[in-house]
Amino acid sequence: MKNAPIAIALKIAEIINSNSEKDIVAAIKILERAGFDNDLIYFVSSSLSRVKVRKSVIGGASRTSGGKDLFKRRMMDLKASNPASYSQLISFERKLNEGILLPGAEELKRFGQALSKGFKPGKGRSETIAALLLELSGLLPDDIETAVRHAESGIGSSDAGEFKQLAHFLIGRKAD
C-alpha cells in the first residue's frame, strides 16, 4: 500500500514529461466527455485552464493570485454544504469553456455585470469565465441555480433586459 502512491507519482511524472500540455488538456477533456466526473478530473481540468489565466496580467496583478484560493475554498465549501449546487456550477463551467453557453464576449460580460456591479471581465474568454465563476461561487445556492438557469435558457443572448431582471432578483435576495 505504501508503494501505490509512489507508483502513481511516477506514472504522473512520466505522463507530464512525455506529453505536451495541449495533449494532456485534450486527454482530460476526453475523460470528461466519457463521463469521468470526479474531484481529481475537475481539479486537473480547472488547474490546467487556470494556467493560461495565470500567464496574463490585468491591472498590474495576476487575475488568479488571490481569486484562485478564494474560488477553491468557496467550491470546497459548496461541495460540502450543497453538492447539487457544486455539480451545477461544475457543469456550467464546462459549458462555458466549450462555448455552449454565453459564446460571445459581450454576453459573458453582461452576465457578469448582472451578477455583480463590481464585475471586471478579463482580457480573454478564460479570464472572464474565471471571474464569472468566482462571482457565482460566492452566491447562495438558490441564487446560483437561478443565475445558471437564466444563462442556460439563453436569456440575455439577444436582450440585456433579462440580465437586468436577474440582477434585480439577486440584489433583492441579498437585501432580505
User: Residue 86 and residue 75: Cα distance in Å, rounded?
Assistant: 7
- Alpha carbon 113 to its chain centroid, in Å, reads 16
Among positive and negative, which fits the CA dihedral 115, 119, 124, 126? negative
> What are the pLDDT digits (tens) for 119-166?
888 888 888 898 898 889 888 888 899 999 888 886 444 455 566 666
Residue 57, beta-bridge partner list: 62
Domain parsing of the chain, residue ranges: 60-175
The position carrying cell 511524472 is 13
- pTM score of the predicted model: 0.54
Q: Which residue has the cell 489565466?
A: 53
Tell me the C-alpha distance between 151 and 93, whole Å. Answer: 11
pLDDT band per the 50, 70, 90 thresholds, residue 67: low
How many CB atoms sit inside 10 A of residue 63's CB? 25
